[in-house]
Structure 1
Amino acid sequence: MTGGKRSPWRAMVLVSIISSYIVGGTVSGVFMGLWLGNQFGAKPFFLVTFLLLGLGTGFYGVYRAIEPFIGDGK
């Protein structure tokens, strides 16, 4: 039964999406924070701020990606 709701390929795609959102948001936040910190001379402030923004964005993307799978049972 390929293409069913419990397909292992679908699960692997979902895991790939989740990991790419978290890693991508975190890495983007770190690089943006380091770059802005070097530009303005406030490296720790920008690094921490953009790291947290990147993590928040990544987890929001994960929530939006898994939202159809955690529906209210309809």
Structure 2
Amino acid sequence: MKKNDRHPFRAIGLMSAITSQLVGCTLVGLFGGRWADRQLDSEPIFLIIGLLLGLAAGVFATLKTVRRFFEE
């Protein structure tokens, strides 16, 4: 990215996208694992699996967004 192409609104957009992806994916994994635990009566196992999968999906989506942002 050229120095002249840097705009504060683009940076704000990138940071809000990163935050929403990390938090959103983590919450979906957390609540999905919690729901699966309640359905199968296996308390913490699916909660932990869902949390880890949500974090991994959030990091993957964040890396993809940042890579696309800096390619432009």
- Identity, % of aligned positions: 39
Alignment partners' CA distance in 1, 2:8 and 2:43: 43
| TM-score scaled by length of structure 1 | 0.85
Secondary structure of the residue aligned to 2:16 is helix
- The residue correspondences of 1:53-68 to structure 2 (distance < 5 A) are 53-68=53-68
Deviation at 1:67, TM superposition (A): 0.6
Structure 2: tracts of 5 or more residues without a match: none
Give the structure with the higher percent helix: 2
| Structure 1: runs of 5 or more not aligned | none
Do residues 28 (structure 1) and 28 (structure 2) align? yes
Aligned positions, number: 67
CA RMSD of the aligned region, Å? 1.1
Is the 1:36–1:46 Cα contact (8 Å) retained in structure 2?
Answer: yes
Counterpart of 1:15 in structure 2 is 15
Match of 1:48 in 2: 48
Structure 1 stretches (4+) deviating beyond 2 angstroms?
none
Structure 2 distance, partners of 1:5, 1:23, is 28
TM-score, length-scaled by structure 2: 0.88
Does the CA contact (< 8 Å) of 1:27 and 1:54 recur in 2?
yes
